[in-house]
Structure 1
């Protein structure tokens, strides 16, 4: 490798460690040794330090041992006529720089607590665009995309492009390929993030263009995100640096794009990233490291033209992408799913309570439909003025020898994601509460309502082609026609709901597995029944059945229940045999309907976590969106860290929001009668179903008996509320008896 690269990286590491040590000494003098030191709302302490060194940095004094370790990692300066194997020294210097920068960034949170915006999205109007360290809510929400393949990796961009237009082109190219873009560092008085804003590009987690910070030290937030994913989803233990680094090389496909002049501190960060197996691809003429070794292929590649930056980066990282071309005039991919179309940018709006709107997918006789036919009945975009509103009914007819009525709602639910993948379109809701917004920018590029049909036809064939042969789409904007279709659609919705609601675990001999998350939690095995949806909330029994039809060798396999070993707890021999094999002989048995006795395994993707509250003789549940304290004395992030590695943890279990109101929810422990506490946001979200469930169990006001954080976050506070309300859990047999 180049001696010049090693020289720059080592010199940069010395500079970074020295600066961090200076900040540390100043902070000690000003705040004292016991000053708390942390990134907000995370159970992973300072994540790079915690994952690599196993050190829990909780207060300022704890950082001293980290900085001492950094100094011990610094290799000798390179001198003339002395030649050594430079790569090892370069890697050590890079790791020292990264660890020191994490200390420095944590101190920044103390010195300037408002520097970073604790949000998923930027407040551009007020000039607050730097998001800093992602909290655990963001990690859980976004980490699942790295599990299921929606996000194959990320590009860490440092510096700035020559102009905003080139920055926009690079960012959008990565978005089209479904990659996240993590941004930091300035170049010539500007940053890549600020260039995107100038070019009119929306940035933030929702668009996968994440502005971590204006300094090179903010690169630690990208590496910290990767390491937290390894601990949260992969079960990697803190301090096992070899495993955490190998995990990232093998499973987190990331790389660095260095745009602009590369100084010594940038070189140190690039050297640090090589430890993770993340190569650097630069636009300038810098010394290269071409031999393979730590990274999959080259370590540092230079002088890459901007129009080839994304392709070359993906090639060097060894990332294999499958990107389908969709016949629409706008960019298309999951990166645009979170994009908002604001009021002033709207060309056409449909639904959302402002006009009648519905979506309906139905099976059809193959002889009555024409594959690929898309019709717009009524005014199209070219027929209306900017800012207009139209009624809308999107109807899709599907025909095929393997198509079944059970698949209709599965395909229908995909409309939300598939339409949102188009740049300049916003889709919220589903069924008869759908809401569409189409931006002026999309219309300027030639987008019409017909393109919605083209998207659905192409993506349904791509994703579900194994179960149908023909797909025809009709889009209605004629108000009389829309008002005629909506009652028919609502009747179809009711029939579907009754069909799934009418299914029972007792009446079904075949359940389905889901092992999608095993890439992160190797021993986790979800088994999904009609009355026990997947803990991530994304899969129910019908979804898994459809998935198996589409991909017979995929993660959703049929599981025969076999002999009933315990009807109350939900334990079957066939399920146990499958779980034992699928968990690599780690889990021999678990129960569907209990969290007290050998509950199901839980992975980090669960929507909610339930836990026993012994004093209240009941259970609580908390959803991942709630960031406050729970009556267990732990927040959601801590609970997920404790049980989320694919473990069977008596007293705790992960589950979906929908599962709370299913008939079999913890029925082995007394059922929903045991539910005594949940966050208010979750309670309000599922209130209608909770009220119906209360009617079913003969306690009409049951929903009001469930405490929330407004009633207390300790068991003593909750018990007083339960006794006042006459909650049934108070008089039930002991839950741990």
Structure 2
């Protein structure tokens, strides 16, 4: 910690305490010792002193105890040599200064009783700008808002901005985020409140811009309000200073904005606020206190630009701001999640095998992105004619103090159902195989692709406020841009998937559920294990574990495997019990490792669908991005329509691309050695993994033995090729026996 900061704060403590001792002696010479001392209409006496020490100050004589207490808190002066950079002395000096400031304001109430105008709003016509300490009526009316969350916190602004326009900008930024703004002190005779009045801004409790007073001592009213809220609504007892201060740190999300030069008197006030866990952010160049400790994050942050003051303050305090409104012209909500956009209703679409549609969520640093910013790179859907298609890349950047890279796929998967919440928009799939259909009705209401960004920003803040501080969304609709983000995304997907490659299902006793797709497939319950990634391809076992950590009541719930019923086919008692409950009795059991015997249910979001080819004694699989015919006689779209509604369909099963080369892929039916056909593009995408898995199963040239559409698209066409290559499936036991 800076020696300069310690010197300024401790020096300020001595200065303020000495000044108030002088004012106190003068008051005793002028008034009787039993002269009444109080803040108007409150049962909390002098609230900072009462809440922290339990002392009930009612007259001049009783001010001596807290004043002596403040003097006793003052630490030794900073030495010129061997300065110890500890926060403790700074905190003591700060608390001494805060107590002295409250005594100073109490003395003002005696010596100048008409200085403040104790109402909710000032009387500007009468020149009564400053409202002073809030009375108990205001506390009861406003204090509860800090408890129920309608007021997430307050900004205590001291000093003045360079001009009224900047003052207005800063304050209105806080208003938009529902914070209170408590104003005190002046800088070179100018105050923020006077600047706001000049700029035509209405001030007072009703607009949440509170003009406490023109001196730094009046900033103590903000701390008094916070402590009274702790006693009134938090049940904290007077004198329990540890609980009072902890309550404020954990429940009252406040911070100080110092606008102007910070002298010793402001310095000691800032040090005092740190005791409450309230950090200070300044627009001037003073030393910082960046290590975390008493405050949630940094204690003093300086050189903050005025247009970044609000966001930086919120980040530093760890405040989570609620985004309550979603500003789009269409209706929005879960009721529209299962809505279909059929051919007659369709205006335009992307993905679904017709164009590329890719989604990627990445973690960002706080200073890299702007919260709420939505960028559209390329033409909007309003530029397209009915029936046209377009490519789309959705790139979401999230910054948060508690955000981790492990959370990226969890947030990415939310895009699916959040886009579906928009009336008239249908979303299927995920990752790089998404499919978005936009209805004529949505276009008539004024839909723009930017509205997807608006929705994602709002809902990520609403649903994941613990880990999300900033969200920026970029939407790409130019082919070259979409191709670039797709290449990057596929590399990210591969890295994520590889995290579970060394794990086996036997390594864990807990699997995880995923019910995100039940709006389209009500009976579908996806179970995710280390060796069976979610059939959508978006979640692996580690992703589900992270999702449960973020949202313990969400769609990814832990499943205790329980007794193993069939180790070959992959069936457990605990999984069956969970699936039966989660499917509302529609599905009583299924097998993890088989597509022939009671396979897992499938939904329309699966990356691939496998089907039996009886004449070849093997199986085929087809990915969503392959539009052609297949040897089973059905295209992917037909297959998805037949068994993608949550059905358990023996002979067919949905799965992810990654799952094809995992150790337990249809192992109960013979595993990957049964694979006789897949589209060339999918086969090439998985070449290295097929080579590795084939070698592990004793067939190192398995890749060369698998047919694709260049060989044929019927069983009759591919069988000679399989015979020529000596495919292992032909010599295995019958698939159906």
Q: Verify same fold: TM over 0.5.
A: no
Interval containing the TM-score (normalised by the shorter chain): 0.3 to 0.5
Higher relative contact order (CA 8 A, sep 6+): 1
Max Rg structure: 2
Output the TM-score relative to the length of structure 2. 0.45
Output the TM-score relative to the length of structure 1. 0.45
